[in-house]
Amino acid sequence: MELSVFQDYGPMLLRGFGVTIFCWLAGTVLGMLLGLLVALAQRYGPRPLRWLLQVYIEVIRGTPFLVQLFVLYYGGPLIGLRLDALPAGLLGLTVYGSPYFAEIFRSGFNAVPIGQIEAARAIGMAEPSIVRRILLPLGLVSALPALVNFSIILTKETVILSIITVPELMYQVQRMSTETFRYLEANLVLALFFWGLVETISRAGRRLETRITRHLIERV
Partner 1 sequence: MFSTQTFFDSFGPLFWAARYTLLVSGLGIALGLVIGALVCAAALSRVRALRRFAALWVSFLRGVPLLVQLLLMYYLLPVIGINVPAIAAAVITVGICASAYISEIWRGAIGALPPGQSEAAAAIGMAPRDIWTRIVLPQAVVMSLPALVNELILLVKASSLVSVVGILEVTRASQAQAATTFRPLEVYLAAACIYLLINLCLAGLGRYLEHRMAV
Site of interaction with partner 1 (CB under 8 A): 58-59, 61-68, 70-71, 74-76, 78-79, 156-157, 159-160, 162-163, 170, 183-184, 187-188, 190-191, 194-199
Look at phi and psi of residue 181 and say left if phi exceeds 0, alpha if psi is from -120 to 50, else beta: left
Q: Which is nearer to partner 1, 109 or 171 (CB)?
A: 171
Query: Cβ 186 to partner 1, closest distance in Å?
Result: 9
CB 198 within 8 A of CB 152: yes
Smallest separation, CB 165 to partner 1 (Å):
13
Nearest residue to 65 (alpha-carbon basis) of 12, 23, 11, 10: 23
Choose between 55 and 126: whose C-beta lies nearer to partner 1: 55
Q: How far apart are CA 175 and CA 191, in angstroms?
A: 16
Q: Smallest gap, in angstroms, from Cβ of residue 37 to partner 1?
A: 23
Angle between helix axes 85-110 and 47-62 (nearest 10 degrees) is: 120
Cβ proximity to partner 1, 90 vs 131, nearer residue: 90
Nearer to partner 1, 26 or 163 (CB): 163
Distance of CA 90 to CAs 93, 96, 157, 173, Å? 5, 10, 11, 20
- Smallest gap from residue 194 Cβ to partner 1 (A): 5
Q: What is the DSSP string of 11-34?
A: HHHHHHHHHHHHHHHHHHHHHHHH
Cβ atoms of 104 and 35 within 8 Å: the answer is yes
Closest approach of partner 1 to the CB of residue 207, in Å: 17
Q: Is 118 or 199 the residue whose CB approaches partner 1 more closely?
A: 199
